[in-house]
Structure 1
């Protein structure tokens, strides 16, 4: 469905986050006379009317009857496609689309590399853009990473590095290359089950002519085995990490120690980015030296600096126990106090508890809604390090400051969403930075969004 196809239709926008606002602006630009209704929260009504006085704004959660009054509803990504009201309206004939789907329909020939994965997708997408630009390729960086595609509706680029969440993968149109970095449990509340999450995530494979997959994950290999043009990274015959180097087959290309972002998982993200460039016909070997100048993304193992003789690292994007374990692995050999916990989605923490049980020099501060459950599991397992339980992030930072020795690290890698205390992970990361003694605003910008 293209934007022009909405002419003469009864159209609603559902959601007034950045994606919703981008949809309103794009539809107004192309179809200025089209009547538009917006469903948003009551707190957003005034802002919506200020953005577009012609909008009919309804500050409510629409039910099936409200949605059924429209021919087409443009839905924001955070609204589950499995909501009963949505499914009922869909069954009655209402069509649902999104900013992502509209952009792909408008740009069917765009040279897109779309990246998804439970973890690593943002860093990999940003790395692709960074490396491509080092070769002089005009590259757009957009999508779930922080810039809705519809904000770049009329932009042309020689390469599109696009991050897609599991909410968006089924909305993408045909593309030259899809990349899947990893696959773990996440967003089960949106998808409804682990099986559905996996199926939704891997809808990217249906759109991608070539599919680049992490060859170190058996689950991914099993689920993508039938793709006719599957390429693997992380394996010895391609881009992989071995003995402290990023390698292309047997050739040493870049020392892992020279990567500005820590951890072997980030070295693997770099392999994914290099393999993606290569698959798109660019000289990945020539781009590799630019890895040395890549900057960590906000809230993703982001070194904030030192305060009080202690290093502080913001990994607020971490929303699964596996992500927290990856963060800890990047700090092997150092004294670490890790802050975990947040909104409770019922994820299993047993693998985390088992993995940290014999790690020396590790203290754990559990906080948030699922903090008591995590702390109880840890205490039952009797790990080597100290365990503390507090209610809030503010208290957790104070406790971590007291527990961490000089020269040690305070790592906030919650392994859980932020919604018990914060609007999103970015707000949580800024709060952590401020509590640690840093300027919370200066840490937040993602470099390179848009076209360069």
Structure 2
């Protein structure tokens, strides 16, 4: 889908977050005379009116009837196409698109590496850009990681490669853009975003659309993920990582086939899963036709991303770790694994999307931390699930009113020795706008400067 194809058509924007504003700027730059309609909240409407654009009509009620009056609705990623009004609008003839589709339509010749997965996709995408740049290749880092693709329409000079993170909200838009990505990387598939997708089955289907619908020229897949291992992709060359004939780990040692390449134990990649994702990055680099082995050592210079197993520092004998981006129980388990053997108080809970915490509870039967503090909307449900286990084990279970109370409880139980680990396993919605705001508040409560810990290194083109 090219932006020029929207010329003279009935076009609406739905949402006015960063993605929505980027879509507006891209459309207005290409179609300066076209009337556009924006559907947004009352608070956002005031900001949009401040643009002084007489050809931007603003409405605050995105009903099915109104949405259905448009031929194209460019929606922000957080708006589910499975909402009743969205489904009804499509039935009336509206076509829903995301900004990702528009970007791909305008960049048919771009050498793109798209990365998705329930866990680890941001670090993987950033590490990919880091290694490509270390090899002397001008590379763009954008997408769901914090910089909408539409904010990088025509960088000059253009990058040689694009490292693009895609959430399950965006994977379908790649195919809608009408362009096959050069490489698509899929790391893993766990239950996530069930409120947006409506069911786990539909989440998996949507997540995998980057592979099944977009038909990448090369698919880089995790051989240790059962869902990915079962895929049949007849239109793509498939390269596996985590398998002994490719890039894989043997303990902490990195191998390419039978050749040992390096020891990963000291790399600034917290958690074995992140060191495993180095294998995904190196496989993707090979898929681009480059020699990956000489670039592997440059992982030592990688700067970890904020809010992802981020060690903030130590105060009064306690180490504070900010894993606010953790929105699944699987992510919380991975975080606990990183600090095995330490005295840990983990803070879990947040927005309730109906995700099953059974696997987390089963893991607590085998190796529980010193303490688990529950909080948030789904905190009571998690607490109820874990209470029988706590009664039969030696881990301490408590409930907190909010994050400040949770941090205070963790401090008390650790008594000056251990790790306060924020790895909620749930979204932040409710008390916080997003995981960044939650992580910043945690940093403040721990006594650290939230501004100093929040910048994402490497965004844009370099």
Normalising by the residue count of structure 2, what TM-score does the alignment of the two structures yield?
Answer: 0.95
Alignment of structure 1 residues 6-405 onto 2, 5 Å: 6-155=6-155, 156-172=158-174, 173-205=179-211, 206-207=213-214, 208-224=216-232, 228-359=236-367, 361-382=369-390, 383-405=393-415
RMSD: 1.4
Q: Structure 1 residues 329, 52: closer, same or farther in 2, change over 3 A?
A: farther
Q: Contact 1:48–1:57 (CA<8 Å) still a contact in 2?
A: no
Counterpart check, 1:442 vs 2:452: yes
Q: Structure 1 residues 131, 33: closer, same or farther in 2, change over 3 A?
A: same
Equivalent-residue separation in structure 1 for 2:339 and 2:232 (angstroms):
32
Equivalent-residue separation in structure 1 for 2:369 and 2:205 (angstroms):
40
How far did 1:407 drift? 3.7
Which runs of no fewer than 5 residues in structure 2 stay unpaired? none
Q: Contact 1:238–1:249 (CA<8 Å) still a contact in 2?
A: yes
How far did 1:317 drift? 0.5
How far did 1:52 drift? 4.8
Equivalent-residue separation in structure 2 for 1:315 and 1:353 (angstroms):
19
Q: Structure 1 residues 200, 228: closer, same or farther in 2, change over 3 A?
A: same
Equivalent-residue separation in structure 2 for 1:55 and 1:311 (angstroms):
53
Q: Contact 1:49–1:55 (CA<8 Å) still a contact in 2?
A: no
Equivalent-residue separation in structure 2 for 1:76 and 1:70 (angstroms):
16
Q: Contact 2:113–2:284 (CA<8 Å) still a contact in 1?
A: yes
Q: Contact 2:271–2:335 (CA<8 Å) still a contact in 1?
A: yes
Partner of 2:230, secondary structure, is helix
Q: Contact 1:40–1:57 (CA<8 Å) still a contact in 2?
A: no
Equivalent-residue separation in structure 1 for 2:60 and 2:355 (angstroms):
30
How far did 1:300 drift? 0.6
CA deviations 1:336-391 (Å, max 9, x no partner) are 11000011111111111111234365211111111111112111123321111112
Aligned residue pairs: how many? 452
Q: Contact 2:45–2:60 (CA<8 Å) still a contact in 1?
A: no
Q: Contact 2:246–2:256 (CA<8 Å) still a contact in 1?
A: yes
Normalising by the residue count of structure 1, what TM-score does the alignment of the two structures yield?
Answer: 0.97
Alignment of structure 1 residues 425-440 onto 2, 5 Å: 425-440=435-450
How far did 1:223 drift? 3.0
How far did 1:109 drift? 1.2
CA deviations 1:273-318 (Å, max 9, x no partner) are 1111111112211111110111111111011111111110000000
How far did 1:334 drift? 0.9
How far did 1:243 drift? 2.4
CA deviations 1:3-41 (Å, max 9, x no partner) are 111111121111001100001111111111111111111
